[in-house]
């Protein structure tokens, strides 16, 4: 069975600082991994996804994530935080052979300090 | 503009009432999903449908019902049997019926349901 763990329910960084949001997964088959962002009272928007091609995946808004099989991790990073990055971020892993079985993490709320 | 619409944005319900949440998509997607989101928790799958006139229970289907009579519509009914229905409800869709696991899900803006 697949599962995903996001370390840290809340992360706070200063504007201009590095953003690092952690995600570890468990999967019995090669995983497909996603990062979504959710702004207050809105739906989720895909930031990026890993589909077994390049291990470093670049997404929208300057975010990227690196798939590390040995560490079972898919951490999300951005070199320089912007105030507009304040949101909730969800890591997700696919399960089985159907996209209907995507497992979401519990989310990490990112706050940006001026 | 293609996308997913959910209505209403805010919904208030008295205990013992059934309510129906609307979800419509014009992306020509085959698959549609309903999730429930509670504070501090991830999304939990309620129901999904990969084709018209067919749907499957997710992880927390008790107290909910759905229908899929048209490709573009997937309404969710929260019944009086759902003991704790106050939550944020998200509808999503994805492209292919026989989707590979890389298929991206596209989300609507959500409906916030509050039981009074």
pLDDT digit string, tens, across residues B13-36: 888 899 999 999 999 999 899 999
Beta strands in B38-86 (DSSP E): 43-51, 54-57, 64-66, 76-78
Phi, psi of B53, deg, nearest 5: 70, 20
**Percent of chain B whose pLDDT exceeds 90:** 68
- Confidence label for B9 from pLDDT (cuts 50, 70 and 90): very high
pLDDT of res. B97: 57
Q: What is the three-state SS of chain B?
A: CCCEEEECCEEEECCCCCEEEEEEECCCCCEEEEEEECCCCCEEEEEEEEECCEEEECCCCCCEEECCCECCECCEEECCCCCCCCEEEEEEEECCCCCCCCCCCEECCCEEEEEC
pLDDT of res. B21: 96
Q: Which residue in A has a C-alpha nearest to residue B90's C-alpha?
A: A43
Task: Confirm if A39 and A10 have CB atoms less than 8 A apart.
Answer: no
According to DSSP, residue B70 is labeled B
Using an 8 Å CB-CB cutoff, list chain A residues near B43. Answer: 44, 90, 104
pLDDT of res. B91: 96
Task: Confirm if B64 and B21 have CB atoms less than 8 A apart.
Answer: no
Chain A: closest CA distance from residue B55 (Å) = 11
Taking Cα atoms as reference points, which of B33, B101, B46 lies closest to residue A25?
A: B101
Q: Is A40 on the interface with B (CB under 8 A)?
A: no
Q: Which residue has the tokens 């504007």?
A: A15
Task: Confirm if B41 and B70 have CB atoms less than 8 A apart.
Answer: no
- What is the pLDDT averaged over residues A68-79? 96
pLDDT of res. A1: 74
Taking Cα atoms as reference points, which of B41, B58, B62 lies closest to residue B92?
A: B58
Chain B: closest CA distance from residue A113 (Å) = 21
CB contact under 8 A, B103 and A34: no
CB contact under 8 A, A102 and B105: yes
Structure tokens at A87: 């949101």
| pLDDT tens-digit map of B67-99 | 999 999 999 999 988 888 999 999 999 886 555
pLDDT of res. A96: 55
| C-beta neighbour count of B97 within 10 angstroms | 15
Task: Confirm if B81 and B64 have CB atoms less than 8 A apart.
Answer: no
Whether residue A89 is predicted with pLDDT greater than 60 in this model: the reply is: yes
């Amino acid at each position: 069975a697949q599962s995903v763990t996001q370390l840290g329910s809340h992360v706070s960084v200063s504007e201009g600082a590095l953003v690092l949001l952690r995600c570890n997964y468990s999967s019995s088959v090669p995983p497909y991994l996603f990062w979504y962002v959710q702004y207050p009272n809105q739906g989720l928007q895909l930031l990026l996804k890993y589909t077994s091609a390049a291990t470093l995946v670049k997404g929208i808004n300057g975010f990227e994530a690196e798939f590390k099989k040995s560490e079972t991790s898919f951490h999300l990073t951005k070199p320089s935080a912007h105030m507009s990055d304040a949101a909730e971020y969800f890591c997700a892993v696919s399960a089985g052979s159907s996209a209907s079985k995507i497992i979401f993490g519990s989310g990490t709320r990112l706050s940006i300090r001026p | 503009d293609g996308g997913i619409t959910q209505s209403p944005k805010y919904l208030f319900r008295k205990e013992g009432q059934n309510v129906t949440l609307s979800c419509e998509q014009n992306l020509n997607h085959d698959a549609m999903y309903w999730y429930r989101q509670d504070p501090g928790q991830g999304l939990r799958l309620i129901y999904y449908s990969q084709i018209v006139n067919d749907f499957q229970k997710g992880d927390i289907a008790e107290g909910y019902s759905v229908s899929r009579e048209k490709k573009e519509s997937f309404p969710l009914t929260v019944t009086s049997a759902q003991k704790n229905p106050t939550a944020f409800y998200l509808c999503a869709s994805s492209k292919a019926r026989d989707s590979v696991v890389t298929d991206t899900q596209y989300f609507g803006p959500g409906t916030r349901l509050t039981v009074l």
